[in-house]
Amino acid sequence: MKHSFLSLFSLLILVSCGSTEKALQSTNSVNASTFGYWQQHVDYTMEIDMDVNNYQYKGTQKLVYTNNSPDVLNRVYYHLYFNAFQPGSEMDVRSRTINDPDRRVGDRISKLQPNEIGYIKVNSLQQNGTSISYETVGTVLEVTLNQPIQPGEKVTFNMDFDAQVPIQVRRSGRNSSEGVALSMSQWYPKLAEYDDEGWHADPYIGREFHGVWGDFDVKLSIDKDYIVGGTGYLQGEPTLKSGKKTHHFKAPKVHDFTWAADPDYIHDTLQMPNGPLLHFYYKKTLDQKYLDNWKKLPAETAKLMEFFSEHIGDYPYDQYSVIQGGDGGMEYAMSTLITGERSYGSLLGVTAHELAHKWFQFILASNESKHEWMDEGFTSYISNLAMNSLSENKKSNPLSGSYRGYLALANSGVEQPLTTHSDRYASNGVYGAAAYSKGAVFLAQLGYVIGDDNLDKTIKKYYQDFKFKHPKPFDIIRTAERITDFELDWYFIDFAQTTNTIDYGIASVEGKSITLERIGLMPMPLDISVTYTDGSTENFYIPLQMMRGEKPTSATTINDWAWAIPTYSFDAKKAVKSVEIDNSQMMADVDRTNNVFTIK
């Protein structure tokens, strides 16, 4: 309603000034961005020449940018991520001033020498063949256009740049602790995303990314002895010239491009029936126990791929690569960088998590900087289920670790809401618990609210509706509402936008009469288990009034509970011995000590 009111108000003012035509144009331009979904598009064509002796490379980039927005763009921005790996950068200073720095970063950036830093230097930039002005500001290139980009218009940017690969510090870099030569993520000038919220030219301080959907055509020339894997499909055999091989990759419908290279890679493959070709790159110099782990990995990676495809939706690409590299585990388009010197359980578990990211972030491309919990949390949820499916000793609740992490955060006194920008969390610990644990609980607990079958349907519908798009937080809730016809905005508001907590307790039990109390601010429907004095049991379901619906359940459904009323009483059928609220423990009640009442 705010848009409509403002539009009408502006129209009346302009009409009173005799500017009816301008008023209508203004009204149309305001409303254009509120109707329908749109997203920008990029086509990258890059030629890269890498010198493995000094880890410097030269690049040319042709970028065709389609402005699908209803807005006129006067500027554009590029990310220059490698500039973060320089003494005095925001990433460096933040790492040295936050109270719990990432141990992989610490103060290492501040000690890098000129031949060890990372940089991307733009030498020239043209818009449709005409030079334009630009300024490098940390990890962002600010570009002032000669001609604004009109709605629906395509423009071509041509860039020439030089770069240096930093010593491996965080995610990307050269000569990792395991001896991997090149882990090349966030390595090229990458156009920032523009959407209905405006530009997202965030500096690279420590967290993750947001990118424009598009197609990549990349020619990489590198020493002939290096084996290369990563995003995209290799176009024929590499060509050899002057001691270098040129690898030509194409990657359709992605929002990033990553590669890794090392002269000592072993390259294994596994073709899945009716599925992608799986690639595995790992160093032949690994100890035998680690080599054995990598040899076991392909078969179970295929099982994981099948699990995610069944429970979310089909994997849409023809290849996926697991590559030894990076500094831990990190997802990229069609590929994962993962450190290789791990126990098999760790290798498989991290592979499961990073593979799940292909759905939750690389196909369902949420903004990781703003909505990190949609990325890490949803991935943690589904990867925990997948790992449980492979385990011989299956857990009754494979999300129990996520619940413990969230409950510790909720009771810590330092929790920040999930609306917090990922770089603005007070500590890495709070960020991690919010993004991974609370994000996973958001989905798991949604299953408690609407029923597990409805949650399964919601996830699949969410994937079908938003794959190759940029879903936002409320999209998952609106999808659940469409599946169930429930009202669920209360769940999203309290759990994702505030730090309100769930705390229900049993106030009293007298004979057959049971009285419950709401102590926390967040509302929830309740599952109640009753044991009678004769040893029999009965389950009750108390719907939440503002939910306007009831989940499928075999329990006895009784009257709903209005949130503002702090207590609720009902009569069971017989004399009661004990009562428990939510014996599944899938409701994230922050104090379970008052969830059980037993008559002594």
Structure confidence at residue 283 (pLDDT): 98
Dist CA 456 CA 462 (whole Å): 10
Q: Which two tokens stand for residue 565?
A: 């009323």
Task: Answer whether residue 32 shows pLDDT above 60.
Answer: no
Region 76-86: mean pLDDT is 98
Is pLDDT of 308 > 90?
A: yes
Distances (CA, A) of 381 to 148, 353, 403, 438, 569: 43, 9, 11, 10, 35
Under the banding of pLDDT at 50, 70 and 90, the label for residue 600 is: confident
Query: Please, how many CA atoms are within 13 Å of residue 546, restricted to the half-sphere of its CB?
Result: 14
Residue range 325-332: mean pLDDT, rounded: 96
Taken in order 362, 364, 370, 375, is the CA torsion positive or negative? negative
Element of type H or E holding 580: strand 576-581
- 236: DSSP letter: S
Can you read off the two tokens belonging to residue 14?
């302009």
Q: What is the pLDDT of residues 502-557, one digit of tens each?
A: 999 999 999 999 999 999 999 999 999 999 999 999 999 999 999 999 999 999 99
The pLDDT of 358-374, averaged and rounded, is 97
Q: Cα separation of 477 and 229, whole Å?
A: 37
- Residue 130's pLDDT is 98
- As a whole number, mean pLDDT of residues 339-361 equals 98
Whether 415 has a binding-site annotation, put simply, is no
Q: Are 204 and 169 in contact (CB under 8 A)?
A: no
Is residue 16 scored above 50 in pLDDT?
no
Alpha helix locations (H) across 411-451?
428-432, 439-450
- What residue ranges do the domains of the chain occupy? 36-212, 388-497, 504-598
Please give the Cα distance from 481 to 478 (Å, whole number).
5
Note the pLDDT of residue 28. Answer: 31
Same fold, 36-212 and 504-598: yes
Residue 397: which of 596, 541, 531, 582 has the closest Cα?
Answer: 582
* Beta bridge partner(s), residue 214: 42, 254
- Whether the per-residue pLDDT at 239 is higher than 60: the answer is yes
Instruction: Write the DSSP symbol of residue 302.
Output: H
Ligand-binding annotation for 353, yes or no, is yes
pLDDT at residue 274 in the model: 87
Angle between helices 372-390 and 439-450 (to 10 degrees): 70
Q: What is the dihedral of CA 304, 307, 312, 317, to 10 degrees?
A: 50
**Alpha-carbon span 262 to 183, nearest angstrom:** 9
| Element counts in the chain: helices (H) and strands (E) | 12, 32
pLDDT score recorded for residue 471: 98
Q: Are 26 and 54 in contact (CB under 8 A)?
A: no
Among the listed residues 116, 331, 354, 580, the single catalytic one is 354
* 354 catalytic per annotation: yes
Share of the chain above pLDDT 70, in %: 94
Distance CA(507)–CA(575), nearest Å, equals: 17
- Examine the residue annotation and report whether 265 is marked as an active-site residue of this protein: no
Distance from C-alpha of 117 to C-alpha of 376, rounded to nearest angstrom? 29
Cβ-proximal residues to 159 (8 Å cutoff; 6+ apart), any chain: 59, 60, 61, 62, 63, 122, 124, 125, 126, 189
Tell whether residue 3 is among the known ligand binding residues. Answer: no
Residue 450 in contact with residue 461, Cβ under 8 Å?
Answer: no
Element (H, E) at 146: strand 140-149
3-state secondary structure 227-275: EEEECCEECCCCEEECCEEEEEEEEEEECCCCEEEECCEEEEEEECCCC
Residue 224: partners with Cβ closer than 8 Å, 6 or more residues away: 240, 243, 244, 245
Residue 542: predicted pLDDT: 98
Summary mean pLDDT of the chain: 94
81, 134, 436, 462: the active-site residue: 436
Q: What pLDDT, on a 0 to 100 scale, did the predictor assign at position 8?
A: 31
Q: Which residues pair with 532 in a beta bridge?
A: 576
Residue 133 has pLDDT above 50, yes or no: yes
Q: Which CATH architecture has domain 504-598?
A: Sandwich (2.60)
Question: 36-212 is classed in which CATH architecture?
Answer: Sandwich (2.60)
pLDDT at 5: 31
- The model carries a pTM of 0.93
186: its two tokens: 């966030």
* Poorest-pLDDT segment among 10-14, 340-344, 569-573, 585-589: 10-14
Are the CB atoms for 466 and 378 separated by under 8 Å? Answer: no
